[in-house]
Structure 1
Amino acid sequence: MKRLKIYIGACLGSVLFTLSSCEPEMEFTNPSADSELNYYNTKEHLTYAVNGAYNMLQRAGGWARWMPFMLNARSDEYAFTSGAAAGEPETARLSQYTVNADLGSLSTTFQDMYTLQYAANLALEKLAANQDGAFDLNNTEDKNLYDRLRGEAIFLRGLSRFYLVYFFGDQIPDRDYVTTGGADYSLPPAESGQIYQRMVKDFQDASELLTAWNYEGTNDEGRATKGSALAFLAKCYMGRPILDGTAKAGDADWTSAKAVLEQIINSGAYGLMDNYRDNATEDNENNKESMFEVQFCQSTETQGFNPAAPGDLNSWVVTGQNTIRELELSAPNSTECGRWWNGMPSLALYNEFERDSEGKIIDPRAYLGMYIPDGCKFLGKSGKWLPYEELFSGGTFDAWRGKWFGCRKYSLDKVRSVEQSGINDRLIRYADILLMYAECCLETGDEATAKNYIQLVRNRANNNTVALNTTEADAGMSYLEGGKLPTVDELIANHPVVGRVVGNNGSVICEGMEINTVRRALKHEYSVELYWEGWRFFNLMRWYNNPNDPDRERMLDNLINKNAAQVEQTSLTGTATFNYERNLYLPIPSTELTTNPNMHGNAAN
């Protein structure tokens, strides 16, 4: 049975009763009522302060709604749908590189990531005060919990900094204190490079304060761990050229990243799940492969999706602990499914997977993470298990079979009676750590070790057999025979071209890549293992900023050709040509520019 989620924040404040015709000297404030002055003076309430910071990840500007679009839509693994163009155009604009500062998704994400920063700073301030000696810091047990809570709050502040800079660049405000109001609300941008140094220190400090590597099976399951902090620290070192405003191409810190990743690997605390699909379902959450997850549960006490009033979602994504990802980014809005289906896997991604001599995909990860031809079945509204051809049927769907797909990751393989999902969003997992370590090995001259770590990830894919996938959705499917993927050496010797997209007229839209080197094998493995998990755009920008990569100039080709690929897949046009200087970051939201006179736009504004 799924554990009750622990990250429920307390909303605190003084309640003032306004009464008329009362004695002038009457005291209207109840001295026994909770207030900020008397609330944070117990271990329990200080723990709630940290829990409240976790809760910010579950908001609409976090992973409850907008973050999956913010992280995935700009990559070449994503295509927007006609449903998005007609009913959710701002998600389509993220994919089209036509974003402007007025988009609600941008302002909500900007706001909620700063709310996360505020909540983390508040928790740290209250812990530092340790009011009424709530923690006896001379007591080992108390000190351990105190340090752990500080480590969690510092980690969450690091997350806020990481995602804010990744999306908007580093010319934005930053605080390591609780805002005092007034003029402080109009804080000017930090000095260039300052936020990068602060986020690195946050993850370093958090990794030292957090001593547990894994809480699987305990009451603290899902909290940040030492591994969580180190994983994001390695991301910072590898992504320095796009996270540090003072850095340039070639400034990634491979040596530091490698040392951090070695700590994670040598801990022995993590491993790959036998079943690839366990990394994106409600079963086996917070497992040995997961480094950090945003915790969700299907909280049906909040208002869910109402087909008669589709815009009525505020209480769902603000007060509940549900995620909208399944409703908007999974199966199609066909007669049998009826979901919104605002984005789908691209043809470039579909063609990234290795095939046999007859052209059939041999990598089970394609079928375990997407609704595609010859793939799993879906339990539709009729009560029937539907193959791909029936799931994508009716209306205009028939004409686009083989080009229109669904994302099976984070999707229940059936229609829910109440479209509220409690599937945790995995921010980072151990398979990514292994591939990051392989990349660091390549950059430090150890190609043999790099191949070994790529092979570890491929081995798990090769071992995904029917015995591990016992749901009716996968019953009888040939893709679970196992053992069809070649080794890394065999893959390079076979040198297939993957990711190529050819138009109906025979023109090459996306050239794809011939896998004839270990570096190219690694890029391929990143894509087929981690697709639609939020890291593809980040990786493309890193690789483009790596002068050691002989393919660096090609890393932007699929983004530059995205309009043609979008038209080929959907007939929908309007995607602008990707420009690195303009489209690396998203524009500073107009809500910030109009309320903060000390702020200015960035290159995307």
Structure 2
Amino acid sequence: MKRIKIFLTVFITVFAINGCDEEDLELTNPSGLSPETYFRTEAQVQSAVNAVYANLQTIGLYTRTYFFAMDLMSREALGNPQLEADKRVYLEWSFDASHPPIAWYWDSCYRGINKANFVIGNEERINEIPSSLLSEEKKAKFIGEAKYMRALYYFMLVTRFGDIPLITTVPEGGEGFPRSPKEDVYALIEADLTDASKSLLSKEVAEKGRATSGAAYALLGKAHLYQEEYQEALNAFENIYGEYSLEEDYFANFREEDEFGPESIFEVQFDDDLGNSAVWNSNSSGEDANEVTFRGQEYGFNDWFNAYPSPALLDAYEDGDIRFEETFYTDGDTWAGESIIRTGPIPEPVPEGEIYIPLERTAAWRKYQNYYKDVNEDQASGINFKVIRYADVLLMMAEAENELGNQSEAIDYINEVRERAELDPLPDGLSKEEVFDAIVQERMVELAGEQVRFPDLVRWGLAADYLGQYGFQAGKNELWPIPNDEISSNENITQEDQNPGF
């Protein structure tokens, strides 16, 4: 943890954080604030809270590492020959504790946590600000945002590493923290989200991009579901059931112009108009201008095309499922009003007005791509990432109901999702096992390429069944290794504390 503490010293002293620069976050520039002036005005409190969000916009998380790791490990995506070696390891399960992107993921989350702790630890000081300068509702909202974000970062860590250091204050000394049982981590996640759900604003009145009460309930339900606490999960989800709705157009969820739509519960913001000068220097810090993701360029068939949809994913869709054509480009499709996409051997010469997906792939990604409006991706994409959307919640509610023995209710939730896909509804009378199989299927096709498939397989105990043939080892690869950098710098974590198999 020493590197994290060093960063915090800089953060607390200078407070030069410029992340999360979406206009809707009403950013003020916090550079130059001294410790003596912290938390005396609304702008200062908001700047501190803005900094907590910024670590989602790092190469260690949604700018690059996160989508590659999850999509490749789940085998939703496969790598073309040009895929870099530090990404190919996810396909081959050959990464170890020295793998830099895993360390960046770890650091990104813990830096975000420590920024959140800085805000939460100054709750008393924030509450001392006169209400004429900062209303009581806004004070509670800002603390709620910090708690939501702390819970989100801890959720991302505990699901990838298991037992982890649990830090709730800004460290003052140089000592590191030992690993805490994952049960304790989940307890903090639940406490933070319960508090946040009471103080955050609803989506209808909150600024775009902010954590909301609905987002807190959704993540709380998800945390309970991951622990197989099904009634508690339903209790959380029921607070937002009917408060959101599915987009009529499935693809609108992944189109820049339709961000924060009726289905969106929480999303990571990107805006390529706001600058990316620090993007290659932001593996984990979240400092300076880093307002873009490389997802479009990395997966784009007319650009880098480092990853493409796997045949197993393509084959999972039922005939007539409109989500297929909204998720992938295939032979005969057009894009940006320019050319026709073809697959197969590339002829000489290529017919005018056609472009061929190279390497004889049968499909390419449409989801999260800018090709609906641009012929080429530029390196910087401004399309937001959905962290939780309403269809995900409906399918999690179905899972909880099914595990509680309420198959009819579970089927109703599944059918809400299938109706938009223009598929026939599931019939009543299915067994628990049949409903579970339907949930596995629906989550695979509804949430393809949204970084949920691999965690789903792990928590269901199905990862070895689906991924064992590719090198996944049960008892090892459910978790990532604790980074070597952490073990070497934290005197309270040794190699004996490393996850099994690493």
Q: Say if 1:458 and 1:134 are closer, same or farther in 2 by CA, change over 3 A.
A: same
Runs (4+) of structure 1 exceeding 6 A deviation are 390-395, 490-493
Match of 1:435 in 2: 395
Q: Say if 1:6 and 1:388 are closer, same or farther in 2 by CA, change over 3 A.
A: farther
For 1:144 and 1:393, the matched residues in 2 are separated by 65
**What is the Cα-based RMSD across aligned positions, in Å?**
3.0
- What whole-Å deviation, never above 9, does each CA across 1:470-489 have from its counterpart, x for those lacking one? xxxxxxxxxxxxxxx32223
TM superposition shift of 1:453: 1.1
Q: Gapped runs of 5+ residues in structure 2?
A: 1-20, 351-355
> Secondary structure at 1:344's aligned position in 2?
strand
Match of 1:524 in 2: 441
TM superposition shift of 1:74: 1.3
For 1:112 and 1:391, the matched residues in 2 are separated by 43
Instruction: Return the TM-score normalized by structure 2.
Output: 0.86
Matches within 5 A, 1:183-222: 183=175, 186-210=176-200, 212-215=201-204, 220-222=207-209
Q: Say if 1:192 and 1:454 are closer, same or farther in 2 by CA, change over 3 A.
A: closer
Contact 2:267 2:384 in 1 (8 A): yes
- One-letter identity of the residue aligned with 2:135: D
TM superposition shift of 1:5: 4.4
Match of 1:598 in 2: 492
Match of 1:585 among 466, 471, 479: 479
Match of 2:60 in 1: 61
Instruction: Return the TM-score normalized by structure 1.
Output: 0.72
Contact 2:231 2:404 in 1 (8 A): yes
Q: Say if 1:111 and 1:9 are closer, same or farther in 2 by CA, change over 3 A.
A: farther
Match of 1:449 among 382, 398, 409: 409
Count of residues paired in the alignment: 468
Q: Gapped runs of 5+ residues in structure 1?
A: 14-33, 241-251, 305-311, 356-361, 463-484, 494-514, 545-553, 563-576
Q: Which has the larger radius of gyration?
A: 1
Match of 1:284 among 243, 258, 267: 258
Contact 1:5 1:295 in 2 (8 A): no
Matches within 5 A, 1:506-521: 517-521=434-438
Matches within 5 A, 1:383-402: 384-389=338-343, 400-401=359-360
- One-letter identity of the residue aligned with 1:175: I
> Secondary structure at 2:260's aligned position in 1?
coil
For 1:426 and 1:412, the matched residues in 2 are separated by 16
Contact 2:78 2:309 in 1 (8 A): yes
Contact 2:49 2:116 in 1 (8 A): yes
Say if 2:226 is the partner of 1:239: yes
TM superposition shift of 1:331: 2.1
Matches within 5 A, 1:244-263: 252-263=228-239
Identity of aligned pairs, percent?
29
Matches within 5 A, 1:70-469: 70-84=69-83, 88-130=84-126, 133-136=128-131, 142-170=135-163, 172-183=164-175, 186-210=176-200, 212-215=201-204, 220-240=207-227, 252-265=228-241, 268-299=242-273, 301-303=275-277, 313-314=280-281, 319-328=289-298, 330-332=299-301, 337=302, 339-355=303-319, 362-374=320-332, 376-379=333-336, 384-389=338-343, 400-401=359-360, 403-413=361-371, 414-416=374-376, 418-462=378-422
> Secondary structure at 2:386's aligned position in 1?
strand
- One-letter identity of the residue aligned with 2:183: G
- What whole-Å deviation, never above 9, does each CA across 1:189-216 have from its counterpart, x for those lacking one? 2245211211121111111222x3314x
> Secondary structure at 1:292's aligned position in 2?
strand
Q: Say if 1:71 and 1:555 are closer, same or farther in 2 by CA, change over 3 A.
A: closer
Contact 1:58 1:294 in 2 (8 A): yes
- One-letter identity of the residue aligned with 2:437: R
Q: Say if 1:391 and 1:517 are closer, same or farther in 2 by CA, change over 3 A.
A: same
For 1:450 and 1:280, the matched residues in 2 are separated by 27
For 2:210 and 2:500, the matched residues in 1 are separated by 36
Match of 1:22 in 2: none
Q: Say if 1:532 and 1:192 are closer, same or farther in 2 by CA, change over 3 A.
A: closer
For 1:53 and 1:39, the matched residues in 2 are separated by 15
Q: Say if 1:540 and 1:192 are closer, same or farther in 2 by CA, change over 3 A.
A: closer
- One-letter identity of the residue aligned with 1:529: E
Match of 2:427 in 1: 489
> Secondary structure at 2:266's aligned position in 1?
strand
TM superposition shift of 1:591: 1.3
